[in-house]
Amino acid sequence: MDSAVVPPQKKQKVEHYKPKERKCTSCEDTKTRYEFSKKQWNKGPDKSRCTACISKENPLQDDQKQTKAIAEKETHEHNEKIECTLCKKLKARNEFSWRQLQKGTNKCSSCILKAECFACETIKPKTEFHRREISPNNVNLYRCKECVDGGAPELRKCSTCQEVKPANDSFSPKDSKCTLCLAVEREALKEKYDKANCMVCGLKQQRTEMSVV
C-alpha cells in the first residue's frame, strides 16, 4: 500500500517587526523608538525629543559645566591651606610640589632644601648636614655637621612606642623598633603559637600537654 503523499505546505509570510515611530517635537521628523532616549520616549508623543536634537544643545551645557567645575576646583585649591611638616606654617596648596603632596611629606617649596637637626632643634639647609645623615636609608634622627662634630649621640624614634632612644644601645642596626618592643612582640607570638584550644574541654592549653590522635 502506497503511503499518502503529503502536499507541500506554503511558507507563511513572516512579517518583520517594525519599531514604533513618533514625531520629534523639535525637528518635527518622524523617527523610530531607537532614536529617542528612554526618558524622552516615556514623556509621551507630544513631548518627546530625539537624541540628535538633544545632543545639539548638550555640548554647550557640558562645556559650561566643565568650565565651572574647573574654576571651582582651582578656587578650592587656591584657598586650601596645608601645614608644612618642617616649618609648621599653613600655606597655600600651590606652594607645595605635586610630589610632596603625593608622598604625604608636605614640605613647602621654601623648606624642600632644608632639614631639621634633632640635636640642636634647628632648621638648616641640607648643605649643613652630612650626606649619610639625610639619606633615605638613614633610620636615625638627623644631626647637622656641627652637632656630629660636637659629639651628639645617634638617636632613633621607635615606630611602636614612639620613644626617642639611643640608636646603638636600644636598636638593632637599621631596625625601626627598639629591642624592648621587639621582645614584647616575640613573647606575644610565642604565647600565641605555643597554645591551642582543646577539642574536648575547649580550654587553651600548652601544645606540649596535648597529644596528636
Q: Which amino acid is at 84?
A: C
pLDDT band per the 50, 70, 90 thresholds, residue 74: low
Q: What H or E segment, with its residue span, contains residue 185? A: helix 179-194
Q: What is the mean pLDDT of residues 162-183?
A: 83
Residue 144 pLDDT: 92
% of the chain residues with pLDDT over 70? 73
Q: What is the mean pLDDT of residues 75-83?
A: 72
15-70 pLDDT tens trace: 555 668 889 988 889 988 888 888 888 888 888 889 888 877 765 555 666 676 66
**Mean pLDDT, all residues of the chain:** 79
In this model, does residue 11 exceed pLDDT 70? no
Q: Is 42 helix (H, G, I), strand (E, B) or coil?
A: coil
pLDDT band per the 50, 70, 90 thresholds, residue 96: confident
Residue 211 pLDDT: 63
Find, among 167, 162, 169, the residue nearest to 119 by Cα: 167
Give the single-character DSSP code of 131: T
103-122 pLDDT tens trace: 878 888 888 888 889 889 88
pLDDT band per the 50, 70, 90 thresholds, residue 197: confident
Query: What cell was used for 111?
Result: 623648606
**What residues contact residue 70 under an 8 Å CB cut-off, 6+ apart?**
none
**Residue found by looking up cell 513618533 in the block:** 22
Residue 162 pLDDT: 84
192 versus 187: the higher-pLDDT residue is 187
DSSP string, 100-116: HHHHT---BTTTTTEEE
Whether the full predicted model's pTM is greater than 0.85, yes or no, is no
Residue 198 pLDDT: 72
Query: What cell was used for 134?
Result: 639625610
